[in-house]
Structure 1
Amino acid sequence: MHAASRALPKRPTFTSAAATDPVSSLAVYAARCERDRAGDHSRVSAKPQELVPRRARLPAQLGSVLTCSGPATCVGSGRSHAEMTDAGFGGSVRILRMRRRWEGPVDFAAEGLLDGCEGDAREARIALLEQLFADGASLDEVRRAIAEDRLVTLRVERVMTGEGRYTQRQLAELAQVPLNVLLDFRHALGLARPDPDDPAFTDHDLEAARFLGRLLGAGLPHDELLDVSRVLGRGLSRGADAIRGLLGRRFVATAADEWELALLNTQAADQLLPLTGPLLQYILRLHLIDQVRSDVAGISDMLAAGRMPGSRRVVVCFADLVGFTELGQRLNVEDVGALATRLEEMTSAVVEPPVRLIKTIGDAVMLVSNEAEPIVDTALRLVASARGAGGEFPSLRAGIACGIAVNRAGDWYGPPVNLASRITAVAPAHAVVATTEVRDAARGRRWRPTGKVRLKGITGEVALFQAS
């Protein structure tokens, strides 16, 4: 077993598969834990046919137990929870939340829930199934989770979502928000549209629906709130995917079997999930402060010129990988994705305010700043970083333009956006190329003219200069 996994609470190991007395493995587990806490470490075994966990060393207290007629047939008889010693997150964590919600005995083997599991893997599956059914999972839920290869995450899904109490229709009525508006906002967040009469939603969903109602009641435009929801949905989806990948890789390397992997997932959700709200609020506040400060410089000009809200003078930069299309034809999908990820990582490493990374578009990144010189410096550092990456990492090139653009839902639109994109397409590898206006605004850099060019969709010739 992996060294790190030895610190985990051990799952029960069964010595008999044909027990006749209704004694659960978890019942014996609980008894042993009680005796351990009292200082009595003798073996808990009244009858040789009972299911006796050989490694029942869990520092926990189970308030009530399950009764089983064997390792594959269990029925619940009470309510309890256990506090297990943490496996790497610090402190104690609530792991088992057993609720009386059984529909009757479940024969794991007869229901096909143990198919393909042998030896230790079978024992681990049995222990996990007992916990899932003790938590109140239905047979259909468990079957679905096995079919979708997500049995080890089912417990954490249940911990995170809680018990469904409301339909979307009820949420809309209680929050005084039109049902179609509530469904639109859920869809804008990147989530599926549910059946309005499916009672799958919790008090957290009701709180969010009421918050939406307050925003609408404050007079914020419906369409613009939808735009913000789309931006938040995209960003938080990527953040959740990154966190899931980080923890998933660590847990798979640490856990010895399904039971331990499910335990680690549940511990992570129990300890880390409550921290995410304050952390996200803190990060959002910092970004809002930074952007408000950046916007102040352009407010007077915007008011004097009578420009529309959201529009201002900005400097836009695109940087893309040279020859990415050809690379995509000879590399597998994973390697192509890795190149795009590496580009985003490189960009994040060199970007500092007032420059902002707006988005990644496959093989390209888009940057925006309210000042020319910082974005030129950032582009030069990014190109140099790609050049020094070595291996098969492609060359990078960048194009920069400035002008009046409009911000909508976190993205930018307007002439400088189109112009910067067109300049990037004609820039040489390893080069940062910009317009006359950018050159004049970034006098701290050295520039050399590269000539005038005609660009698709741009009227007239454009004089370009390469920065160094």
Structure 2
Amino acid sequence: MARRVPGDGGRDAARNGKASGAGNTARNGGPAGRSARAGAAASGAGSAASGAGSNGTASNTAGSNSTASGAASNGTPGTAGGPAGPGTSGAANLPDVQPQPQSPSPSRSRAKRKAGGDELEALLLGGVPRHTAYEVCKAAGIPYDEARRYWRAMGFADVGQARAFTDADVDALLRLGGMPRSGLFTEDFAVQVARSMGQTTARLAEWQVDVLFDAFDTAGVGSEQMAEFGYRIGRRVLPELEELLVYVWRRQLAAAAGRVRQQMQEHAEGLQAVGFADLVSFTRLSRQLSEEELARLVSVFEANAADTVAYGGGRLIKTLGDEIMFAADSPARAARIALDLLGAMRRTEAVPELRIGVAYGHVVQRNGDIYGTTVNLAARLTSLAEPDQIVVDPELAAALASDSTFELEPIGTRMVRGLGEIEPSALTAG
């Protein structure tokens, strides 16, 4: 189905990643009903939103996608949305999702399921797939090799010359191909734009599809009804989700541009505080809890952590299951976020204690991630921390020394693997 399509015009991009609801983390431990998706969902909801789902992204070139990543996880200051949304789902919010009687005829049931899947696919893609890759390239005036670079960058599989493309794919190639042809950008720049959108919206689409199916499971929707219900819900919420995606992306873009501008004005480019927060005894818990319970634990941890980081004016860089990585532009802001993270988790019975390490120094920013010795040091400090403790490096401690809202207690010289001896401190509220 179009799920495996490489590329699907801009506006659809926004539509796809959204119409499906989220929950990347909880995917593996979801309710049993999820195994039933293979039948009806494969032709419909899951299919369209996962592969083709990210397709349309290209068309909204600058927009829809790149942000989604921020939208779903970062939640920078001033950014609406933030990370809270993904963790919530529920049948109560699903319009008209009530179990219906099964069709008495297996053949009629299969026909209905196929029709529902085709309709959902066309809804998400913005049209019925009817073009081959070469037809799309010819219509857009883009060489096939160049188009293939864009499709690969967006994460779309090679479908050969199957009729798996819509008119929206032509729009997408026109927009991406127009960048180097304008003389303002190179083809490599266009490929990077496509890659940022593809990687970001792929996770967003998977996350949102999981949330939708979890809601279906809760509502008692059977596997043979999922495509039909996905179509009904998609028609109702897709336009709103598309607008919301662009809105959140613009807010994230404004926040990111503001940070860069501030760094340039202060001549402190690349200087940031980086922190890691790690769940204590996660390996032991993973052996004691069921997959569903473990997924819920990780989901609650990530949602609470993302909210706390966003509210404190930081950025959630990545989540690693039992660990999160965040960054902030000032030492005080990073320290406050670390303290708030401990406080938030103490109030959440379902989440075990945390260990947190924070370091301050120069970092390298690339493709939404950060690298460098400061990042490595923060990770090492996390392993030095006791449960429910925050350990910071000497640079961060020195930057906070005159701030009475924080207290710092040296914990002795420690050998940090790969970095030598340092003298870290334990951070508490003043």
Q: Normalization by structure 1: what TM-score?
A: 0.63
Does structure 2 retain, via aligned residues, the 8 Å contact 1:124–1:258? no
Equivalent AA in structure 2 for residue 363 of structure 1? D
Bigger helix fraction: 2
Deviations 1:404-456 (A, max 9, x none): 11211100111211111111121111111111221222323111111121111
Does structure 1 retain, via aligned residues, the 8 Å contact 2:389–2:427? yes
Identify the match of residue 283 of structure 1 among 225, 248, 272.
Answer: 248
Q: Provide closer, same or farther for how the CA distance between residues 271 and 449 of structure 1 changes in structure 2, counting only shifts above 3 A.
A: same
* Partner SS for 1:164: coil
Q: Does 1:376 align with 2:335?
A: yes
- 1:369 Cα shift? 1.1
Equivalent AA in structure 1 for residue 371 of structure 2? Y
Question: Quick check: which has more Rg, 1 or 2?
Answer: 1
- 1:282 Cα shift? 0.8
Bigger strand fraction: 1
Structure 2, gaps ≥5 residues long: 1-92
- 1:297 Cα shift? 1.6
Which residue in 1 is equivalent to 2:173? 209
Which residue in 1 is equivalent to 2:415? 454
Q: Provide closer, same or farther for how the CA distance between residues 258 and 354 of structure 1 changes in structure 2, counting only shifts above 3 A.
A: closer
User: Residues of 1 paired with 2:296 and 2:116: CA distance?
Assistant: 27
Equivalent AA in structure 2 for residue 208 of structure 1? A
Matching of residues 187-226 of structure 1 within 5 Å:
187-195=152-160, 197-218=161-182, 219-226=184-191
User: Residues of 1 paired with 2:317 and 2:152: CA distance?
Assistant: 23
Does structure 2 retain, via aligned residues, the 8 Å contact 1:321–1:395? yes
- 1:341 Cα shift? 1.9
Which residue in 2 is equivalent to 1:437? 395
Aligned residue pairs, count: 327
Which stretch shifts more, 270-279 or 431-440? 270-279
Does structure 2 retain, via aligned residues, the 8 Å contact 1:384–1:430? no
Which residue in 1 is equivalent to 2:273? 315
Which residue in 1 is equivalent to 2:121? 157
- 1:400 Cα shift? 0.8
- 1:128 Cα shift? 5.0
User: Residues of 1 paired with 2:235 and 2:372: CA distance?
Assistant: 46
Which residue in 1 is equivalent to 2:427? 467
Deviations 1:93-141 (A, max 9, x none): xxxxxxxxxxxxxxxxxxxxxxxxxx95233756555556xxxxxxxxx
Matching of residues 104-183 of structure 1 within 5 Å:
121-123=102-104, 129=110, 142=114, 153-161=117-125, 162-183=127-148
Deviations 1:199-237 (A, max 9, x none): 210011111111111233344344454444444333323
Which residue in 2 is equivalent to 1:49? none
Q: Does 1:358 align with 2:300?
A: no
Which stretch shifts more, 198-207 or 152-161? 152-161
Q: Provide closer, same or farther for how the CA distance between residues 123 and 328 of structure 1 changes in structure 2, counting only shifts above 3 A.
A: same
Higher relative contact order (CA 8 A, sep 6+): 2
Deviations 1:134-173 (A, max 9, x none): xxxxxxxx4xxxxxxxx86443123323322322223233
Identify the match of residue 347 of structure 2 among 370, 388, 397.
Answer: 388
Q: CA RMSD in A?
A: 2.9
* Partner SS for 2:423: strand
Q: Normalization by structure 2: what TM-score?
A: 0.68
Structure 1, gaps ≥5 residues long: 1-86, 91-118, 133-141, 143-150, 306-310
Q: Provide closer, same or farther for how the CA distance between residues 390 and 256 of structure 1 changes in structure 2, counting only shifts above 3 A.
A: closer
